[in-house]
Structures are given as C-alpha cells and as structure tokens.
Amino acid sequence: MTEDSQRNFRSVYYEKVGFRGVEEKKSLEILLKDDCLDIEKLCTFSQRFPLPSMYRALVWKVLLGILPPHHESHAQVMMYRKEQYSDVLHALEVIRFISDATPQVEVYLYMHRLESGKLPRSPSFALEPEDEVFLAIAKAMEEMVEDSIDCYWLTRCFVNQLNNKYRDFLPQLPKAFEQYLNLEDSRLLSHLKTSSAVSKLPYDLWFKRCFAGCLPESSLQRVWDKVISGSCKILVFVAVEILLTFKIKVMALNGAEKITKFLENIPQDSSDAIVSKAIDLWHKHCGTPVHSA
C-alpha cells in the first residue's frame, strides 16, 4: 500500500491502545484527495474501517452515486440534485400533495414515489410495505444527515440500492443467519427452533429496513457504512450478535411472539458493542476485505 509509507509510526501503538480511526482518517483523506475518487478503494476502505463521521456523508454520496467520482463536477451535480429536489418538492406543493405540516419523511416518500412514477392520486393512500421500509430508513437517515436534500438523496439511493443491487441477496439472509447462528451458538438456535421462533424473527426489521428503528443511529450508521459499501451480509452478523448478546434473555423467553417482540425492541444501550462485535464477527467469518487493486 502506498499509504503505508506515509503512515504515522505511532499507528501500531494506536491500534494496540485501542484507538481506531486515527490512521484510517488519514488514509481516507489521502483517498479523498484524488481528483477522481477511486470508488473501489473507497468501498474497501469503508468495509475495513469505520468511516470518520465528517467524511461519512461525502463517502456515502459518492458510493451511492449521488456524487460523481470527480471532484470538479461535484458542485455542479450537487446543484442539479438540489434543483431536482426543489423542483419535485415544488411540484408536490403545487399539486397540493404536501403542505408545510407534512412530516419530512413523508415528503421524502412522496418525492420518491413521484420520481419513480408511482405517486398516488391522493395523499391518503394505504402505505405499502416498501413504503414503510422507506419511511423507516428515511427516519433514520434524517437523524444521521442534517441537510434535507442530502437526506432525501441518500435515502432514495440507499433504498434503490437495496431494491436493485441486493434484491437477490436479501431473501437469502435469513438462511445465512441461521447458519451463522448455528456456528456461533447452536443451543440458542435450537432453542429458537423449539419455540418455533426462527421463522418469526423480525427479518423485515433486520434485513429489509437494515435495522432502521432497531438500533440507534450512531451505531446504525456504522452498519450502513458496510451496507452502502457493498456488503449486506453484515446485517446477518448484526442480527446474530444481537441474539448472542441477549442470549440469556432470549433463552428465558419461550413464546415465539415474546422473542420477536423482545427482539423488535431491544435495549439500545449496548448497541455500540453489538455493532463492534458484529463487525468483528463478520470479519472473522468473511475475512477482512482487501483492496482488490
């Protein structure tokens, strides 16, 4: 790696002491310095290391294709995006689909629907499951990103990525979840099986909404780093880790409904640890991603 030469000699100690992200930030800055951003490298980086929060939005936008890799066109493209956003918003306002009272996330939803040509005839339409997913993600994203335009675009592209790129993977995740849970703790899995909770676990929440609403945003964005950078398998490990963390509680519960209910409302305080452990677990089972270059 070219960066290695420029790395701080203290980096070894940083990692030893447990400081993460000191060196990563630097290398990310090096990556971002390029005129034309290397998407692959960014992906690899994002998968390997946690993104510094100051660069997260930028990296996400680049990875999701909201911004082109070229720095030069960023401003222009962003202007386009902004205009598009305001146009659509305006259109919705014009047709009186939304008002000032409409919640932001719903605005995003209508915008999204409008852009995908599925805008219903009246605002009071029944929400479809995918709309719920969109709303959940938008809500989480709203917490993570301040700017509403960024938020809208990130949400939209994130959902699109889920719907297009991961369309084939997502349905397989429950199986993978069972498999890895069996590897990690077969007793827990058997307990789930005996209480017939395996099929009733909140897979929608976990894999379709990518834990939006399940984990607090501070932890969630670390998961989404991985999802956005191209690995939806991390979701499985987060789920496994949740079960492992709350194993005692889950073992104590017997009914499938109780387990599902508990998993849908897990305590938030240990989510950071869960995510860290999940990432470790993910690295352990899937190996640390290496630069393909």
Partner 1 sequence: MAQQANIGELLSMLDSPMLSVRDDVTAVFKENLNSDRGPMLVNTLVDYYLETNSQPVLHILTTLQEPHDKVDTDAIVLTTGALVLVTVLPMIPQSGKQHLRDFFDIFGRLSSWCLKKPGHVTEIYLVHLHASVYALFHRLYGMYPCNFVSFLRSHYSMKENLETFEEVVKPMMEHVRIHPELVTGSKDHELDPRRWKRLETHDVVIECAKISLDPTEASYEDGYSVSHQISARFPHRSADVTASSYVDTQNSYGSATSTPHSTSRLMLLNTPGQLPQTLSSLSTRLLTEPPQATLWSPSVVCGMTTPPTSPGNVPPDLSHPYSKVFGTAGRKGTPLGTPATSPPPAPPCHSDDYAHISLPQAMATAPKKEERTDSARPCLHRQHHLPNDRGLEELPGSKGSVTLSDLPGFLGDLASEEDSIEKDKEEAAISKELSEITTADAEPLAPRGGFDSPFYRDSLPGCPRKTHSAVSSAQGTGANPEPLNSALDRLGPDTPKQAFTPIDLPCGGAEESPAGDRERQASLESSILTPSPFKIPPQRGVGFGGGQPPPYDHLFEVALPKTARHFVSKKTEGLLKKAKGNTEEDFMPSASPMEVLDRLIQQGADAHSKELNRLSLPSKSVDWTHFGGSAPSDETRSLRNQLLLLHNQLLYERFKRQQHALRNRRLLRKVTRAAALEEHNAAMKDQLKLQEKDIQIWKVSLQKEQARYSQLQEQRDTVVTQLHSQIRQLQHDREEFYNQSQELQTKLEDCRNMIAELRVELKKANSKVCHTELLLSQVSQKLSNSESVQQQMEFLNRQLLVLGEVNELYLEQLQNKHSDTTKEVEMMKTAYRKELEKNRSHVLQQNQRLDTAQKRILELESHLAKKDHLLLEQKKYLEDVKLQARGQLQAAESRYEAQKRITQVFELEILDLYGRLEKDGLLKKLEEEKTEAAEAAEERLDCCRDGCSDSVTGHNNEEASGPNGETKPPRPGGARGGSGSRGGGGGGSSSSSGGSELSTPEKPPNPRVGPCSSRWETAVGEPTTGIPMTVGSLPSSKSFLGMKARELFRNKSESQCDEDSLTSSSLSETLKTELGKDSGVEAKPPLNLDGPQPPPPKPDSVGQLRIMDYNEAQHEHS
- Residue 269 in tokens: 């305080």
Q: CB of 233: closest distance to partner 1 in angstroms?
A: 28
Binder of partner 1 out of 7, 25, 48, 81 (CB under 8 A): 81
Residue 215 β-bridge partners: 212
CB of 33 to partner 1, least distance (A): 16
- The DSSP code for 36 is B
d(CA 138, CA 220): 13
- Does 254 help bind partner 1 (rule: CB under 8 A)? no
The answer to whether the CB of 260 falls within 8 A of the CB of 200 is yes
DSSP assignment string, 162-200: HHHTTTTTGGGHHHHHHHHHHHH-HHHHHHHHHTT-TTT
Binding to partner 1 by residue 68, rule CB under 8 A? yes
Of the candidate residues 6, 53, 76, 194, the single one contacting partner 1 (CB under 8 A):
76
- Binding residues with partner 1: total (CB under 8 A): 26
Q: Closest CB to partner 1 among 36 and 273?
A: 36
Q: Which of 34, 87, 128, 280 binds partner 1 (CB under 8 A)?
A: 87
Binding mask 21-40 for partner 1 (x = CB under 8 A): ---------------x----
Q: How far is the CB of 104 from partner 1 (least distance, A)?
A: 18
Q: Which of 22, 25, 31, 69 binds partner 1 (CB under 8 A)?
A: 69
> What's the min distance (Å) between Cβ of 107 and partner 1?
14
DSSP SS3 for 37 = coil
Chain center to CA of 123: 28
Yes or no: say if 134 and 127 are a contact pair by the CB < 8 Å rule: no
Closer Cβ to partner 1, 130 or 185, answer by number: 130
Count of Cβ atoms closer than 10 Å to residue 190 Cβ: 12
Site for partner 1 in 48-67 (CB under 8 A): 65, 67
* Short-list 5, 28, 24, 4, CA closest to 15: 24
Q: Catalog residues that contact partner 1 under the rule CB under 8 A.
A: 36, 65, 67-70, 72-73, 76-77, 80-81, 83-84, 87-88, 90-92, 94-95, 114-117, 119
